[in-house]
Amino acid sequence: MAADALCRLTLRAAADGLRAGQFTSVDLTQALLDRIQALDARVGAYLTVTADRALAQAQAADQRRAAGQDGPLLGLPLAIKDVLTTQGVPTTCASRMLEGFVPPYDATAVARLNAAGAVMLGKTNMDEFAMGSSNEHSAVKPVRNPWNLAKAPGGSSGGSAAAVAADECLAALGSDTGGSVRQPAALCGCVGLKPTYGRISRYGLIAFASSLDQIGVLTKDVPDAALLLHVLAGRDPRDSTSANVPVPDYPAGLDRGVDGLRVGVAPQYFGAGLHPDVERCVRQAIDALQTAGAVQRPVSLPHTKYALPVYYVIAPSEASANLARYNGVKYGRSDPQATDVDEMMSRVRAQGFGSEVKRRIMLGTYALSSGYYDAYYLKAQQVRTLIKNDFETAFQDVDIIAAPTAPAPAFDLGAKLDDPVAMYRSDVMTLPASLAGLPCLSIPCGFVDDLPVGLQLIAPPFAERRLLQAARAYERARGTLAAPVRQVDVP
Residue of 133, 134, 160, 180 with catalytic role? 180
pLDDT value at 282 more than 80: yes
- Are residues 194 and 307 part of one domain? no
Q: Classify residue 279: in a domain, yes or no.
A: no
Q: Does residue 239 form part of some domain? A: yes
> Per-residue b/e over 112-150, b at no fewer than 16 CB within 10 Å?
bbbebbbbbbbbbbbbbbbbbbbbbbbbbbbbbbbbbbe
Mean of the pLDDT values across residues 244-259? 96
Residue 153 belongs to a domain? yes
More confidently predicted of 343 and 267: 267
Based on the fold, state whether residues 149 and 67 are members of the same structural domain: yes
* Final residue in a domain of this structure, among 382, 409, 432: 382
pLDDT at 70 > cutoff 90 = yes
Establish if 402 belongs to a structural domain: no
pLDDT digits (tens, 9 = 90+) for 326-359: 988 877 888 888 888 888 888 899 999 999 999 9
Whether residues 182 and 310 share a domain: the answer is no
Q: Is 285 a member of any domain?
A: no
Q: Same structural domain for residues 216 and 323?
A: no
Last residue of a domain, one of 341, 361, 382: 382
pLDDT of residue 451: 98
Confidence of residue 125 (pLDDT cuts 50, 70, 90): very high
On whether both 92 and 203 belong to a single domain, the answer is: yes
Share of the chain above pLDDT 70, in %: 100
Q: Quote the pLDDT of residue 1.
A: 84
How far apart are the C-alpha atoms of 470 and 483, rounded to whole Å? 23
More confident: 9 or 327: 9
φ, ψ of residue 84 in degrees (nearest 5): -105, 130
- Judgement on whether residues 74 and 165 belong to the same structural domain of the protein: yes
Output the pLDDT for position 333.
86
**pLDDT for the residue 341:** 83
How would residue 116 be classed by pLDDT, with cut points 50, 70 and 90?
very high
133 is catalytic: no
Residue 326 lies in a domain: yes
Whether 317 sits among the annotated catalytic residues: the reply is: no
Residue type (1 letter), 200 = I
The 8 Å CB, 24+ separation contacts for 99-108 are: 99/333, 101/332, 103/204, 105/204, 106/204, 107/201, 107/203, 107/204, 107/205, 108/201, 108/202, 108/203, 108/204, 108/236, 108/238, 108/239
Q: Side chain identity at 443, as an amino acid letter?
A: I
User: CATH number of the domain that 11 lies in?
Assistant: 3.90.1300.10
The answer to whether 176 touches 182, Cβ cutoff 8 Å, is: yes
Mean pLDDT score across all residues of the chain: 96
Q: Is residue 432 part of a domain?
A: no
Those residues whose C-beta lies under 8 Å from the C-beta of residue 369, and which sit 6 or more positions away, are: none
Same domain? For 346 and 255 the reply is no
State pLDDT tens for residues 166-214: 999 999 999 999 999 999 999 999 999 999 999 999 999 999 999 999 9
Beta strands in 157-301 (DSSP E): 172-176, 191-194, 214-219, 262-265, 295-298
Same domain, 114 and 210: yes
> pLDDT band for position 220 (50/70/90)?
very high
Residue-level pLDDT at 386: 98
Structure confidence at residue 172 (pLDDT): 98
- Give the bridge partners for 265, in sequence order: 298, 402
Distance CA 47, CA 101 (A): 13
101 plus 44 within the same structural domain? yes
Give the pLDDT of residue 343: 87
User: What is the average per-residue pLDDT within 105-110?
Assistant: 98
**371 falls in which pLDDT band (50, 70, 90)?**
confident
Q: Which of 348, 382, 416 is where one domain is finished?
A: 382
pLDDT of residue 335: 81
Residue of 156, 160, 242, 426 marked catalytic: 156
Query: Do residue 113 and residue 39 come from a single domain?
Result: yes
Main-chain phi, psi angles of 459, to 5 degrees: -130, 165
What mean pLDDT comes out for the span 215-228?
98
User: Residue 311 belongs to what domain range?
Assistant: 302-382
pLDDT recorded at residue 331: 74
Q: Are residues 225 and 145 in the same domain?
A: yes
Q: Reduced to 3 states, what is the DSSP secondary structure of residue 108?
A: helix
Same domain, 255 and 308: no
Domain count, the chain: 2
Does the pLDDT value for residue 8 go beyond 90?
Answer: yes
> What average pLDDT does the segment 78-99 reach?
97
In a domain, 446, yes or no: no
Cα–Cα distance measured from residue 378 to residue 359, given in angstroms and rounded to the nearest whole number: 20
Band (pLDDT 50/70/90 cuts) for residue 370 is confident
Find the range with the poorest average confidence among 38-42, 53-57, 271-275.
Answer: 271-275
Q: Is the pLDDT of residue 405 over 80?
A: yes
Region of 88 on the Ramachandran plot (φ > 0 left; ψ -120 to 50 alpha; else beta): left
156 is catalytic: yes
